[in-house]
Amino acid sequence: MKPVVSAVTRSLLLVLALAALPGATAAQLIALKTVPVARGEQFNIFPTRNASMGGVSIALDDMLLDPFVNPAKGGRLAVSEFFSSPTVYNIGENGGAARSLPVGALFGSAGWFGGGIAAMQQIDMGGRGWQPFFQTDPVFPPVPLPPRNALSDLSSTNKYIQGMVGRKFGDGRFALAASAMFADLNAVDGTENLYGGAWSIDQYGHMEDYRLGFTAALPGERTLEAVLVHNRFSMTHDVTFVDWVVTDSTNWFWTPTVRDERNLDKTHTWGAHLGYVQPLRDTNWRIGGIFTVNRKQHPKIPNYVLQNIPRDPGHSWAYNIGVGISKQEGPTTFGLDLVYEPAVSETWQEADGPTTTADGSIIPDLGRTIENRFNFSNASVNLGLTREVKKFAFQLGLRVKGYDYRLRQRDNVELTNRTQDEQWMEWTPTWGARLTFSDLELRYVGRATSGNGFPSVNLFGGNENTAVLRTADLVLAPDAPLTLRDATVVTHQIAISIPFR
C-alpha cells in the first residue's frame, strides 16, 4: 500500500506544478452564469462514450468526443469510423425543446488524420407566458400588430459544420492538429422568454470556433496535451413589444402601441488549456490534471429584464483547475473529476452624454455611470461507472456543479454601493447503455438536469418579474435577489458508430 500512496502524492504534486505553469493553454470554453437558467443541450451535437458516466474526462479517454475538444487527439484513433448521434431534449414547464441530427466521420493513417461533423437542428420555442386579452378602444383607430405565432416564432433551424486535420510525427508519439467550426444560428433556446411581455422575437447570428491542439505520448504511458482556442459568438434579437394603455377607464378600453427594440449579444473568447495524465505505479489507476484559462470580451450584452443596466459591455477572466482519477480493471471502469472554477467579470454602463452626479460633478460622455464586479467561486464533481457484460455495457453517473458569486455594484451617478451574493447547485444524473458488435456499436445516453429554471427578481415582497435568460454567457447584474421556478432539462441521445478501413 505504501508505494501506491507515495505515487498518488507525487502525481498530485506534478499535476499542481503543471497547473501553475504560466504558459498553460485551454481548449474548453468556461461558461459564466449569474442566474440559474435552465439551458438545453443545444451545442452538444458531438458523439461521446463517457457522457453517461457523468461526463468524466480528465483521466479517462473518450476517443469519440476528444478529437472535437482537442483536434490533436485524433492522432490516437485506432480505426476510422463513421458516426451519427441523433439527440433530443426538452425543458420542463413549457421551456422549449430541440432535435438534432449530426453525422460525421473520423479517419486516420500512419501520418495524417482528420475528420468532420455536420448537423441540422430544430429549436422549438418555449411559451412566453401571460399574454394580454383586452377590449380595444373603438374611438382610436386600430394599430396594425405584427402577426403572432408565425412559423419563425414557433420553430427555427440551426446548422453546424466542423472539420479538422492533423499530422503525427516523432514515430507517432507527437501530434499537431487544427479544427474550425461554424454555426449558422437562427435561435438560441430560451431567448423567446428573454424579454418579458414581448410580442415577437426574431433571432439571427452565428458562432465561430477555431482550435490548435498538440499531444505528446511520453515514456511510462504518460500523456501531455495543450490547446489554444478562439471562439466568437454573435446574435441579434429584433424584439417587438406591444404596450397597452387605458384610454377609457369607465369601459376599460385599451389602445395598443408597438415598440421595436434591437439587442446585440456578442462574446469573443480566447482560451488556453493544459492537461496531463499518467498511470499510478503497479496499479490500474490513472491520475490527471488540467488547467484552463479564458479571456472573454463582451462588446454587447442584451438589455435583460432581470438587470438594471441597459446594454452594458464588459470583460471577464475565467479559470478551471481540476484533478481526475480513473480505474479500468476487467469489465469495470470508474472515473472521478474534481474541478474548481474561479472567475472575475466586470461590466459597466456608459453615459450617453455628460451626466451630473449627486454631488454635482460631471461624468463625461462614454464615462462609466454604473460599474459591476463579479467574483465567482464555482466548483464541480463528475462521477461515473461502466460495467461490461460480453457485448453489452451499462453506465451510470452523476454531475454536480455549484455556482457561487458576489456582485459589487457602484452607481457613480447616485454615489451608492450595493453587494449581492447568490448561490445554487445543478444536479445531473446520467445513465446509458452500449451494445458492441464486430461491425458497429450502438449507444444510448440519457441525462436530467435540475436546480435551474426560470429565474426572476424578488421585488416588493415577492411580486415577481418573470424572464428566462439563456445565451452563451450570462453576465448580467440582477437588480434584486433572485427567485426561481424550477424546470428540469431531460436529454436523450441514440448513437451509432461504424468502423471502416
Beta pairing, strands 222-248 & 253-279: antiparallel
Dihedral sign, CA of 73, 75, 78, 82? Answer: positive
Rg of the chain taking only CA atoms, in angstroms: 25
Average pLDDT value over all residues in the chain:
81
| Amino acid found at 132 | P
| Amino acid found at 401 | K
Q: What average pLDDT does range 39-67 have in this prediction?
A: 88
The pLDDT value given to residue 150: 54
Residues 200 and 169: beta-carbon distance below 8 Å: no
Lowest mean pLDDT among 178-187, 294-303, 319-328: 294-303
Q: Of the ranges 12-21, 254-263, 372-381, which is most confident?
A: 372-381
| pTM (2 d.p.) | 0.83
Which helix (H) or strand (E) covers residue 66, if one does? helix 66-69
The pLDDT value given to residue 298: 87
Phi, psi (degrees; rounded to nearest 5) at 143? -100, 125
pLDDT at 112 over 70: yes
Phi, psi (degrees; rounded to nearest 5) at 4? -65, -45
Which helix (H) or strand (E) covers residue 14, if one does? helix 2-19
The whole-angstrom distance between residue 48's C-alpha and the CA centroid of its chain comes to 17
The pLDDT value given to residue 306: 54
Largest CA distance in the chain: 90
pLDDT at 481 over 70: no
**Tens-digit pLDDT profile for residues 164-201:** 999 999 988 999 999 999 999 998 876 766 666 677 78
Q: What percent of the chain clears pLDDT 70, i.e. is strictly above it? A: 77
Residues 206 and 231: beta-carbon distance below 8 Å: no
Buried b (16+ CB within 10 A) or exposed e, 16-48: eebbeeeebbbbbbbbbbbbbbbbbbbbbbbbb
Q: What average pLDDT does range 241-265 have in this prediction?
A: 75
Residue count (the chain): 501
How many Å apart are CA 285 and CA 335, to the nearest integer? 10
Q: What is the CA angle 381-387-388, rounded to 5?
A: 145
Compare 112 and 142 and report the one with higher pLDDT: 112
The pLDDT value given to residue 461: 35
How many Å apart are CA 318 and CA 34, to the nearest integer? 13
The cell numbers describing 97, all together, are 425543446
How many Å apart are CA 316 and CA 373, to the nearest integer? 10
